Amino acid sequence: MKFQGRSIRKYTGGRLIQSRGKRKFELGGETANTHLGETIRKTVKTLGGQEKVRLLRDNTAIVTDPKTKTSKKVKVETVTGNPANIHYVRRNIVTKGSIIKTEIGSARVTNRPGQDGSINAILIASTS
């Protein structure tokens, strides 16, 4: 969990005096760190009574081919690139923007799997 409230420092580096302590609603949620594997989802209650679906593990993705304008549910083999963090590649963590290798070719993830509950991607290089 990460504190997402106001900083105790000014932009100049000076210290601000806190008028109150930290509040629970100022804490960020747990990171999902979506891995490859058998599908595991977790529902999380959010502020206002809503729910988010956290995708913890999944081995399928909905890949859209921009040339034919068709979508297909395919199996994900591995993560080949991740601009968010180079160490996510060897741990097979899927985030928005990561490059995944699928049955039909390489694809770039277009959504946030830890927030949306599924992996959506767009085909960038096909194997056929």
Tens-place pLDDT, residues 31-53: 899 999 999 999 988 888 999 89
Rounded-to-integer distance, Cα 119 and Cα 13, Å: 41
pLDDT score at 5: 87
Tokens at 55, concatenated: 């995708």
The residues, ordered by sequence, that sit 6+ positions from 54 with a Cβ below 8 Å of its Cβ are 32, 41, 42, 43, 44, 114, 115, 117
Rounded-to-integer distance, Cα 101 and Cα 78, Å: 5
Question: For the chain, how far is it from start to end, CA to CA, in angstroms?
Answer: 44
Domain boundaries, the chain: 34-126
Report whether pLDDT(1) > 90: no
User: Does the predicted model carry a pTM greater than 0.85?
Assistant: no
Is-contact 55 34, C-beta < 8 A? Answer: yes
Tens-place pLDDT, residues 68-121: 999 999 999 999 999 999 999 999 999 999 999 999 999 999 999 999 999 999
Rounded-to-integer distance, Cα 24 and Cα 122, Å: 37
CATH number of 34-126: 3.10.290.70
